[in-house]
Amino acid sequence: MKKKLIIFIGICVSLPLFFSCKKNFLKEDVYSSLAPETLGDSLGIDASIIGLYNHLSTFFSKSDAQGWPSVWHAGTDVAFVPPSQKQGIEVPYYDYTQLNSTDGAASFTWGWAYRMISNANIIIKNADAVAGVTAATKASFGAEARFFRAYAYNTLATLFGKVPLVTEPTTTPKTNYTRNSLDEVNNLIIQDLTFAVANLSDVGGFGSKTNADGKPAARANKWQAAQLLAEVYLRANKPDLAEQQTASIINSGKFALTNARYGIRAGQPGDPFSDMFIYGNERRYQGNKEAIWVLEEENINTVPGGYTGAPQQRRNWGAAYYQVTDVDKNDPTKTVTMNIADSLGGRGIARMRLTDWVVYGLYENNDMRNSQYNIRRKYYYNNTQGKNYGLQVPYTGPDTLFKIAPNTTKWYDFIANNTDGTFGFAMTKDFILMRLGETYLLQAEAQFKQGKLAEAAASINALRTRAGASQVTAAQINLDFILDERARELLAEENRRMTLMRTGTLVTRTQAYNKQTINPVVGLTNKNLLLPIPQSEIDLNKDAVLEQNPGY
Amino acid sequence: MKDCSYCFPDRVVKMAPKHRLFFLPLFLFFSTLVFAQQTVRGKVTTVDGVLANATVQVKGTTTTVQTDEAGVFSISAKPNDVLVVTSVGFNAQEIPVSNRTSIDVKLSANSQMMTDIVVVGYGTQKRSDVTGSVSSVPKTRLTELPVTNILHAIEGSVAGVNVSQTSSVPGSSATVLVRGQNTITAGTGPYLVVDGVPFSKTGAVTNDINPNDIASIEVLKDASATAIYGVNGANGVILITTKRGLTGKPVIRYNAYTGFDNLSNWLTPLSPEAYVQKYADYKAQVPSANQGVLPNNFEVTNYNAGHTVDWLKEVTRQGIMQDHNLSVSGGSKDVRYYLSGDYLQQKGAVKGYQYRRISIRSNLDINITDFLTVGTNLSFANNNYDGGRANFYLAAAMSPYGTEYNATGNYEIYPMSPELLYMNPLLGLNSDRTDRASNLTGNGYAEVKFGGVLKGLKYRLNGGYTYVPTRFGSYAGRTAGNTQGGVASLSTSETTNWTIENILSYTRDFGVHHVDFTGLFSAQQRDYFTFGAGSIGFINDELSFNRLEAGSSLTGNTSYRDKYDLLSQMGRINYSYQSKYLLTVTARRDGSSVMGANTSKYGVFPSVALGWNMMNENFIRNISAVNALKLRGSYGKSGNEAISVYQTITQEGTVRYPFGGISTVGVLASNLGNANLHWETSKTLNIGLDFGILKNRINGSIDVYDTKTEGLLLRRNLPLITGYSFVLDNLGKTTNHGIELTLNTENITGRNFRWQTSIVFAANKNKIVDLYGDQKSDVGNRWFIGQPIGVIYDYKLVGVWQAGEDPSKWDPGAKPGDLKFADINGDGKITSDDKVIQGQTTPKWSGGLTNTFHYKNFHLNVFIQTFQGALKNNVTLTYADEAGRMNIPVATGYWTAANKSQTRPSLAYTNTRGYGYPSDNSFTRIKDVTLSYVFSQGLLDKLKLSSLTIYASGRNLHTFTKWIGWDPENNYSFRGSGDWTNNYPLTREIVFGMNVALR
C-alpha cells in the first residue's frame, strides 16, 4: 500500500508541474477587446473610421451636463438662461466672471477634440501602411480621417487659438507639449481639408442611400470638406480662397435650396423651411436637397447604438409648457397641467430663452423662417379636464420666461414608448451639420471681405428669396448684417458662439442684443474671444509650459 | 432528536469501550513508546465556561490532544506524567497526573501569552518563536459578536488594521487597510487566505465565509510575515482558519441570535413649514422661479389640501435579523470532522433591502496510514440580496407635499409632478429584482510524514477549486414607474479558480538548535466570464425578466471574459538557538500574468527577521515582575501586483454608429497600454517588543515600522492632448511609518469581579516621496511631494459674501450668498492658484478600547472605536437642494440675507468652482456592548447541557462626530452618481443570542 500511495503522490506532485511548465502560462490572452495591431487591415481601418463618427456624435449628444447646448448659445446675442432653468455648465457662459481655467465645457471640448485627433492619427498612419488595397482606397481612408482631424483642430483653433499640434499616434506618455502658432495649426487644417476635398467620395444622387463610392450616404463627402475649408479660410482671413470653395459647392449642382414642400408631412400645415427639420425629412435620401452633412440618429429602442449620449437640444430649446396649469373644470380647488404633445414638440424644459432681439427684432413678419411652423409663439390649453381647454394661454408674467416662451421648432421631437416620450430626456433627431443655406452665408462673408458687396447681397438674397423676405442691396451689406442673416437662417442650428468667436464679434453683438435684466450677461470682455486652456492640461503637462490664454 | 440519545451520559458510558477498541491498533502501534499508560479524562474551563481547542500535552512527549467543543479531553498518560494545558489567549498550566484519571483544569485568560500557537503563512508557529509582526484577532471578537461579515469582527480590534464600513446595506462588506496606504493606484486591500489556500483573487467575497465557522484570524503585517506571499503581500495578509473536528465524542452546538435594527442617526429633513419657507427664500434669491407657494403643481395641490407625507418614515421599517448555526464536530483518532450549517436572514431597516445566506461547511481529516493524512475543506455559501428596494436618497430629497399614491392606489410615479427628476422613492418596491451569488469551494490536502533519516520531513499537497456563479435580474414594469412597457435586464457570471500548492517542510531539533524549513511550489489560474442581456416593451408585467424575447426589443447584450495566472516558488528557514535567539529567512519568487509583456513577469521577494527571547536569558528570568519579553526585528521586500488583468495592453473598444438606420460597429482607442509595467515593491523595517509584566497582568506589544514603496503602479493622468486620459506606470515612491500598540491589562482580579482592558492604538504617517523622479508635485492628479497620498486640495472657505461687502478686489462677480474663498495669492481674484492642501483623507490615528467586566457569571464587554484626523468631501453639503428642487436636512441649512450664514451659500449659488465642502470626518463610536450570562456547571448538569451562554448585544450605539450627514464612515452619493440608489443609513442593532452545546 505504501508503495502505491507513494506513486499516487508522485503523480499529484507532477500534476502542477505540468500545468505550470506549460508554455506561456503567464502570457495574457485578451479575449474580449481588440488590439490596435489587429486593426491594420482595410476592415479594421474602416471600423476605426466608424469609430470617428461615434466620437463625433458624443459632442452633440452630451448629457451628463444637461445645459451643454446652452453653452454654445446662451450668453451670446441669441439666447439667455432663465435663472430657475439653469443647470450649471452653461453658467460661466453668461456670467463670464465665472469663466475660469477649470471650466467644465472648455475642458470637455478640449479633451473631445484631442481624442478625435488621436484616433484620426492612428487611422492616418495605418492607412498609409495597409496592404492589399488600391491607392485610391488608401487615399479615401486617409481623407476621411483627415477630415475629422481638421474638424477637431478647427474647433480647437476657433475656441482656444494656438494649440499644440499632434499628428502622430501616441504610444508612450508625453507631457511636454507647447502651443504651435495659429498659422501652423491653420496650415495643417488646410492641408488636411485640401486632401479631403480631393479624395473624399462625391455624394450620391438625390434619394440614393449611398454615396458615389457605394458607401452609406452619411459617410463624409468632398463637399462637406469644401464647406469646412471655406470656413477655415475665412477664419484665416483668406476670403478669396474661401469663395472658391463655396462657389464650387454652389456650382456643383449637387445641392439645391428647399423651395417646395416635401417629405413625410408635406400634406400637413407647414412650409418648405419647416419640412427640413422634421425627423424623417432631414437626410439627403429623405428628400432634403439642401443637406450637405447630416449626423444621423436613430431610435435607440429599435437600432442599437442609435445615439451616443442623450441629446439635450429639445429640452434646452423647447418651452416648459407642461408646467402651465389650468383650473380643473369639475373642482375649482384643483389644478391640472398641460399635456405633453407631439405637435408641441415633446417635453422641453427651456434651459434657454431666445433674446428679445430674436423674438421681437430679428425677422420681418412675412419671413418664412419666422412662421408659426418655425418659431412657436402661441400656446393653447390642451388638457380636456381644464376649464380653459382650447383657449390661448395668456402671454403674460414670468411664464413667458420659460413655460410659454417663443421657441424654435427645429429640435421638436416626440417618440412614444421611448425615453423620447413623456419623460423626454433624450431626443432622436438628426443633426444637420452643414447645408447649402450656410454655404450662401459663408460665400456672402467671403465676398464682403473682398469688397464684393453686390455679389454678397446676391448670395444673401438667394436665402431671402426662399424665405419670402425682402431683398437687400449692396449698401446694406456689412458683417453685422451677415451675422443677423446667419441668426435668421441658422438659429439654434449653427454653433452661435463659435461663429461669433470666429468673427471676433462675441463681445459687441452680445452687449448689443442680450440686454434683459433677468440673469443678465456679466463680465464679458475681449479675453472671452478665446476660452481658457484647461488648468488640468497645464498642470499635467509638467515638462513644458502650456501657456494660458491672456486674462485667465 | 431521538438519534441524539447518545449525547446523554448513560450512552457515553456505553460507548466508551467501543471507543477504546477503535483505538486499539493505534495503541499497539505506539506500544513500543508508551507503557503502563492510562487514559486521563478531564475538562478545561475558563471563567467564561468550557474551553474548546485547548491543547493538552504530556510534558516531554509528542502525545498531544485537543479539547472538544465541550472542553473535554481524553489523553493517555503515565501516572507520574505532567500534563501541559495551553490555549491561545490563556496562561498555560502544568498539572501532574498523580495517579488520577480525571483532571479538570481552569485556565486564566491572557491574550498575549507567549506559548500560543499562531497561524503564519504556510504553517503554524509558537507565539514565542514568531519573529514577524503577527496579530491575532481576540477570540472574544469571534464569539458572541453577531456580525454577518468576518471583516466586521476585525474592525477596531487589531492595531494597524483599519476596517471601514463604507456601506450599511444588508450584506455589504467593508474595506480594509493594513498599516496605511502604500500604493496610489493599485489595490490597497490585504490578501486573504482561508485554511492556507488563497481566497483573494479567486472570485470569492468575504460574505462567502460564515463567521460562525471561524476558529482564528491572524493578520500578518511586516515584511517578514508577508514576504512569503510575494506579489500579494505588500498590503498585509489576513489568515483565516476555520474550525476542525477534534478527537472525541460528537459535540452538537447550536448558536442563534435574533436582532432588531433601526436608523442610528436621523438626518431630519426640513419640516413641511420649513420646506415652504425654503421655497419662499428660493424665490427671493432666484427671480424667474415659478411663482406660487411651491414650485410644482402636485405640491401646490397638496399644500392647499394640507396633505403632507413623512417620506423617511414611508421608506423605513423595523429591521430584523436572525441567524441559526448548527454544527457537529468530533472524531476518532483517525477521522475527525466538523460539519456546520448556517442560515442567516436580515431584513433591512429600509424597505425592500434584505440579505439571506445559507452556508454549509464540511472539514474532514483522515489519517490513512501513520504517515499519510488527507483532508478536505468543502464549503458552500449562497448569498441572496434579492428584492426591489426603496430609494432612501429620494425619500430624503422628496417634498413633504409630494403625492405618494395616485387615484388608483398605486404609487404616484412623480410625486412632485410635473417635476420628473424625482421619482417616488417607493417605486422600487414594485420592481422585481434578483441578485444572488454562490460559492462552492472544495479544498483537499494530502500530507505525508517521512520517517527514518528523513524524520521531520513533511510533504503537503493542497488543491483548491472555487466555483462562483452569480445571477442578477431586474424588471421595472408599469407599477414601478416604467413608461416604456417594462424594462428587464439579466446578467450572469461565472468565476472558476484552481490553486495547487506543493509544500515541503522539515522540522528538527539538534540539541539546542531548532531548524525548520518550508518550501513551496504553486500555481493558480482564474477564469472569469460574464454575460448580460436586456429587453424592453412587454405587453404586461407578468413575465418579469424571465422571458426577454417577450419584450418588443432586445437591448444591451454584453459579454466579457478574462484570465489570470500566478506561478510561485517560496522558501523559508526558521532557526532558533535555545529558544533564545531566533532567525527567519524567506524568499519568494512570483510570476504573474498581469505584468507587462516586455517584463519577465517574475519578481523575487526576500526577507530576514531576528528575534531575541529575553525571557529565556537568566538575567531577565530573575526579575520576578517580568513574565515575558521579546524583541523582534525584520526587514524585507514584498510586492503588489494588484492591478486588474490586461492593464498593460493597449486595447480598442467597440462602439456603434447608425448609417441609414443600420447599426454599424466601429472601434475607438480605449486605453494606452504599458508593456513595461511590473509590480511595485515595498521594503519594510519592523521593530517590535512583546512584553508581559506583573504576572502578565499588563501585557502587550509595540511595533514601529517604516515602509518604503517604490515603482508605484500609478494611474497617472495624462494631458488629454495625448488622446488618452491616463496610463499605468511604475513611478514614484511613498513611505509609511507608524507605531502600533496593543495593551492588555487586568485592572481588577477579584474572585467575583474582574475588570480587563484592552487598548489598540495605531498611528500611521504616509508620504509621497517622489512621483516622476524629478521631485515635482503633480497638481493635476492632486499628488504632492511630502504629503500623504490622499489629500483634499481645494479652495479655503472663509465665509459667505454678505450684502454690502465689496468683492471686486477679491472675487469679482461674487454675489451676496456666494461662498467666500481665501485669495491665497492675493492677486485680487479667485483662481485655481488659490487652492491649498487642507488635510489628508486617511486617519492620522485610530484606536480601539475594550473594557470587559466579569461579575460571577455575568460578563459585560464594551468596545469603543475611534478614527481621528481625516477630511472627506461632503456630498450632502455639496449638492444641497439641487437648485430649489429638493428637500434638505435641517442640519444643512442655507444662506439668506437675514440669517447671514457664514458656512452655507444661498439657494441661488452655483458651485462652478467645484468646491467639495471638505469636512472633518473624525468620529468616536460606541461600536458594541455585549452583556452575556454563562450558565454554571450545576445548572448545566440539571439541563443536561455541556455549555450555555445567553447574551444581548448592541451595535453602533452612539457616534460622537462633527460630521453633517448620515454617517461619517459610510460613503454616500448624489443623485445619478456612484451607487446613489443604495444610499443607506447606518443602523443601530440590538441582538439577543444564545450559544448552546449539547452534552
Does B10 score more than 50 pLDDT?
Answer: no
pLDDT, position B655: 93
pLDDT at B341: 95
- Give A13's contacts in chain B (Cβ within 8 Å): 459, 461, 502
Chain A residues with CB-CB distance to B667 below 8 A: 34, 39, 44, 47-48, 50-51
Closest residue in chain A to residue B528, using alpha carbons only: A31
Residues B402, B311 contacting (CB under 8 angstroms) = yes
Quick: pLDDT tens for A522-549.
Answer: 999 999 999 999 999 998 898 999 999 9
Residue A492 has pLDDT above 90, yes or no: yes
Contact B521 A53 (CB under 8 A): no
pLDDT of residue A19: 52
Model confidence band, residue B9 (pLDDT cutoffs 50, 70, 90): very low
Q: Give the lowest-confidence range in B102-111, B159-168, B860-869.
A: B102-111
* CB-CB under 8 Å, B368 with A19: no
B718, closest residue in chain A (CA to CA): A540
User: A-chain residues within 8 Å CB-CB of B883?
Assistant: 84, 86
Contact B657 A522 (CB under 8 A): no
Find the CB nearest B300 among A39, A335, A539: A335
pLDDT at A443: 98
Relative to beta strand B918-920, strand B923-934 is unpaired
- Cα separation of B658 and B664, whole Å? 6
Provide the pLDDT for residue B110: 56
Q: How far apart are CA B850 and CA B756, in angstroms?
A: 8
Find the mean pLDDT for residues A476-490.
Answer: 97
Interface test with A, best of B281, B282, B288 (most A CBs within 10 A): B288
Please list every residue in chain A whose beta carbon sits closer than 8 Å to the beta carbon of residue B482. none
Tell me the shortest Cα–Cα distance from A34 to chain B, in angstroms: 5
**Confidence tier at A224 by pLDDT (50, 70, 90):** very high
Check A31 against B483: CB less than 8 A apart: no
Contact B883 A397 (CB under 8 A): no
What grid cell was written down for B624? 520576578
Residue B250 C-alpha, separation from nearest chain A C-alpha, in angstroms = 30
CB contact under 8 A, B288 and A219: no
Average pLDDT, chain B: 87
Check pLDDT > 70 for residue B48.
no
pLDDT at A511 over 50: yes
- CB < 8 Å to A36, chain B: 650, 652, 669
pLDDT bracket for residue A356 (50, 70, 90): very high
In order, the DSSP letters of A206-237 are TT-SB-TTSSBTTS-BHHHHHHHHHHHHHHTT
Mutation pick from B461, B531, B641, B912 vs chain A, by most beta carbons of A within 10 Å, is B912
Closest alpha carbon within chain B to A10: B461
Residue among B502, B660, B661 whose CB faces A13 most closely: B502
Whether residue B159 contacts residue B135, with contact meaning beta carbons closer than 8 Å, is answered with yes
Contacts of residue A396, defined as CB under 8 A and 6 or more positions apart, other chains included, come to none
What pLDDT was estimated at residue A26?
87
Share of chain A above pLDDT 70, in %: 94
Question: Looking at residue A157, what is its pLDDT?
Answer: 98
Contact B448 A9 (CB under 8 A): yes
| Residue B526 in this model has a pLDDT that exceeds 50 | yes
Which of A12, A18, A22, A28 best probes binding to B when mutated, by most B CB atoms within 10 angstroms? A28
Interchain CB distance below 8 Å, B662 and A546? no
B205 and B184 in contact (C-beta within 8 Å)? no
Contacts of B716 in chain A (CB under 8 A): 173
pLDDT at B46 over 90: no
Q: Supply the pLDDT for residue B1.
A: 35
CA distance A290 to A421: 29
A478: closest CA of chain B, how far (Å): 34
Q: Backbone dihedral region of A504: left (phi > 0), alpha (psi from -120 to 50 degrees) or beta?
A: left
With beta carbons less than 8 A apart as the criterion, state whether A537 and B719 touch: yes
pLDDT on residue B67? 83
- Residues A77-125 have pLDDT tens digits of 999 999 888 888 999 999 999 899 989 999 999 999 999 999 999 999 9
| Whether the Cβ atoms of residue B74 and residue B40 lie closer than 8 Å to each other | yes
Give the closest-approach CA distance of B414 to chain A in angstroms: 10
Q: How far is CA B627 from the centre of its chain?
A: 34
Decide if pLDDT at B663 tops 50.
yes
Query: CB distance B289–A84 less than 8 Å?
Result: yes
**B592/A26 CB distance under 8 A:** yes
Q: Which three cell numbers stand for residue A115?
A: 481624442
What pLDDT score was predicted for residue B7?
36
pLDDT in the model for residue B23: 40
Rounded Cα distance between B970 and B743, Å, is 29
Contacting residues of B for A118, CB less than 8 Å apart: 669, 722-724
Whether B126 shows a pLDDT value over 70: the answer reads yes
- Return the SS3 of A247: helix
Q: Is B96 helix (H, G, I), strand (E, B) or coil?
A: strand
Tens of pLDDT, residue by residue over B389-414, are 999 999 999 999 999 999 888 999 99
Instruction: Report the predicted TM-score, pTM, of the whole model to 2 decimal places.
Output: 0.81
Judge: B663–A298 Cβ closer than 8 Å, yes or no: yes
Of residues B213, B253, B332, the one with CA closest to residue B70 = B253
Q: Which of A101, A218, A540 shows the shortest C-beta gap to B831?
A: A101
CB B647 within 8 A of CB B728: yes
**Of residues B107 and B473, more confidently modeled:** B473
Q: Does pLDDT of B479 surpass 90?
A: no
φ and ψ of B415, to 5 deg: -60, -25
- Residue A10, burial from CB neighbour count under 10 angstroms (0-12, 13-18, 19+): exposed
Minimal-distance CA residue of chain A relative to B565: A26
| Cα of B203 to nearest chain A Cα, Å | 18
* Alpha-carbon gap, residue A263 to A379, rounded angstroms: 26
Nearest to A193 by CA among A235, A164, A162: A235
B114 or B67: whose pLDDT is higher?
Answer: B67
Q: How far is B714 from chain A (nearest CA, A)?
A: 13
- Among B523, B727, B813, whose Cβ lies nearest the Cβ of A16? B523
* B649–A12 CB contact, under 8 Å: no
Q: Which residue of B has its CA nearest to A107?
A: B720
User: Are the Cβ atoms of B288 and A84 closer than 8 angstroms?
Assistant: yes
Please report residues of B whose CB lies closer than 8 A to that of A2: 369, 371
Interface test with B, best of A12, A50, A95, A126 (most B CBs within 10 A): A50
pLDDT at B34 over 50: no
Please name the member of A301, A322, A419 whose beta carbon is closest to the beta carbon of B418: A322
Which chain A positions have a beta carbon within 8 Å of B561's beta carbon? 31-32
